[in-house]
A and B are shown apart, each in its own frame.
Chain A
Amino acid sequence: MRDWSRDGTARDERVAAGRVLARGKAVHRDDAAKLLEALLKPGDRVCLEGDNQKQADLLAEALTRVDPAVVHDLHMVQSGVVLPEHLDVFESGIAKRLDYSYSGPQAARVARMLFGGKIELGAVHTYLELFARYFIDLTPHVALIAAVSADRDGNLYTGPNTEDTPTVVEATTFKNGVVVAQVNEIVDRVPRVDIPGDRVHFVVEAGRPFYVEPLFTRDPGAVTETQILTAMLAIKGIYAPYAVKRLNHGIGFNTAAIELLLPTYADRLGLKGEICTHWALNPHPTLIPAIESGWVEQIHSFGSEVGMDDYIRARPDVYFTGADGSLRSNRAFCQTAGLYACDMFIGSTLQIDLAGHSSTVTTSRVAGFGGAPNMGSDPRGRRHPSAPWLKAGREADPDAPAPLRRGRKLVVQIGETFGDGNVPLFVEKLDALNLAEKLDLELAPVMVYADDTTHIVTEEGVANLLLCRSPAEREQAIRGVAGYTEIGRGRDRAMVERLRARKVIQRPEDLGVDPLDADRSLLAARSVKDLVHWSGGLYAPPAKFRNW
């Protein structure tokens, strides 16, 4: 007779081993490493929670202190490789294999460790893909997660930064895994239950808040005139003609500039209520002026943002909030929303090639993907129509019979032709390809593929790739907005002028954008303090963004 619950029995044995260190579900933080030694077995798949925002930092540190003779060769399956500890465990042999999504600040070290053979790489995923694989073939044996507070039964309040937690817990607990939560504090009653206690096996009180990176805060003081010009082109050349209401923005200064132009420039164009009403977006401080001016109907968020909690709490008509009043974010749902329910993604990138592939990878950094490819891709499974989606589909394939024609999501890459340090945005060959050759990867880490990209906006103009009818036209459309980069100067001027006549390329003068308007006085807020004023004092920016 086969035993059909061996995994459950194994889970019970792990939990029993951990119980030795616990009072109820609570384990003292000094015993955190011992707890992990008791729970973990060599080769386990472990999800150490952390993404581009919040981090289970206490548990990450504890994992570095387990005895590598007892715990080794772990297979880490986690959204973010962000803290130094996330890589320290590979140096010491505690971990061996890695499947992940995002590695922002550790990108250079990840690259070095991949070259050095310290990490056996599974794959670099998008968030949604990795979440999906948690339920298919990368299900964690143990999940180490972070929450704001817990009660004695292990009910968790994740606070505004709920993010990945429900997804990680769902995949782990319901498939015989063990869940350990670090919490800032243990309380008698949690403000709301984000994770029911019967899904949580152990709770470690950290006595301090878990780390959160203010990744989505852009100081309006650093927005340049060129970025303002580019933002005006995007608004007039894309937002207005497609009447984009449902959208996601990237985190760069170009899209921050657009957010800050909504209550001024876009208002002047009479676009209020016509564009930018429904968002899949983190609580960007730079969107505060548009919200306060009545532009925004609602926003669903992947996570929260440092300093925005009181503001969000005071704007429940706009944000998703719980009965306790605080934000409820959810990365998996918001990524799904961005993929299927938004008509446009617009974001910055570091490199664009002549076909329109783009990447943020450079040869010395493996930054991962995060969620951008989910936002920046055309979902083939989409079936509901909307005006922008249908218009884009019509432009791409005007001759197809309308009832059988797919719409297209607008996937817009925006940037200045020269980035930081005068590095050109446009290249013959992506560094991602060089990296793939160096690391012998089967897939180059391309952020947004050419066949998903519909528009490119630079200070020189808007290129509508949907209207291109051949690879040659596409190449010249890209060269035609590539400014004075080598790619831009290598354009076929006659062909670019023909594309301009067909409105494949539109210049500022074609769109009626006045260069004199490219002035910082056009920004609804010009400093972080302006944002605080707009918020009625509710936004509390972190110290590094303050000058008062």
Chain B
Amino acid sequence: MENLTYRHKAKTRAPGDKPLALVGVVASGNLEVLVERVLPDTDCEVAIATTAKGFGDVWAAVVSDFVERRSPGGLRLSINDGGARPDTVALRLSQAVRSLEEGR
């Protein structure tokens, strides 16, 4: 397993009122994202535990795009990864943020 942590400044607080959401599942090619509203509104942290070693630069790019596109201020996102493709990771990250807005 490889553990990676990225900290970013976010432009705005992530919308919605829910304190917590969980999307996805740990399976081959899939991942789970636990998102918790526990940080100051300008901060964002993404912590990853992944089975696929040596993809730090791709993770860094995915996380940095995610922060830029979704502005997840105040959120800590914790990922358990079963070797998902970057597009799946990006999808789950945006789903996690959207889940804090939705009652679903």
Contact = CB atoms under 8 A, between A and B. Distances in A.
Q: Do chains A and B touch in the complex (CB under 8 A)?
A: yes
A522 to B, nearest CB: 13
B72 to A, nearest CB: 13
A484 B61 contact: yes
Interface in A222-250: 225-226, 229
A516 B99 contact: yes
Contact-size category for A:
20 to 34
Interface stretch (A160-168, A377-385, A402-410, A415-423): A415-423
Nearest to A515: B94
Contacts of A225: 88, 91
A516 B104 contact: yes
A518 interface: yes
B9 interface: no
B75 to A, nearest CB: 16
A507 B70 CA distance: 13
A514 B58 CA distance: 24
Provide the main secondary structure of the chain A interface. Answer: mixed
Interface string A409-446: 00000001110001000000000000000000000000
Contact-size category for B:
10 to 19
Contacts of A498: none
Nearest to A514: B98
Count chain A CB atoms within 10 A of each CB in B86, B94, B99 and give the residue with the most: B86
B100 to A, nearest CB: 11
Contacts of A518: 91, 95
A418 B86 contact: yes
Interface in B58-96: 58, 61-62, 69, 85-88, 90-91, 94-95
Interface string A38-63: 00000000000000000000000000
A508 B58 CA distance: 21
Contacts of B102: 516
Contacts of B95: 515-516, 518
Nearest to B59: A484
A213 to B, nearest CB: 28
Contacts of A458: 87
B77 to A, nearest CB: 14
B98 A509 contact: no
B87 A489 contact: no
Closest A-B pairs by Cβ, 7 of them:
A484-B86, A515-B94, A418-B85, A459-B87, A516-B98, A515-B95, A226-B87
30 contacts: A225-B88, A225-B91, A226-B87, A226-B88, A229-B91, A416-B85, A416-B87, A417-B86, A418-B85, A418-B86, A422-B85, A458-B87, A459-B87, A459-B91, A460-B87, A460-B90, A483-B86, A483-B87, A484-B61, A484-B62, A484-B90, A489-B58, A509-B69, A514-B98, A515-B94, A515-B95, A515-B98, A516-B95, A516-B98, A518-B95
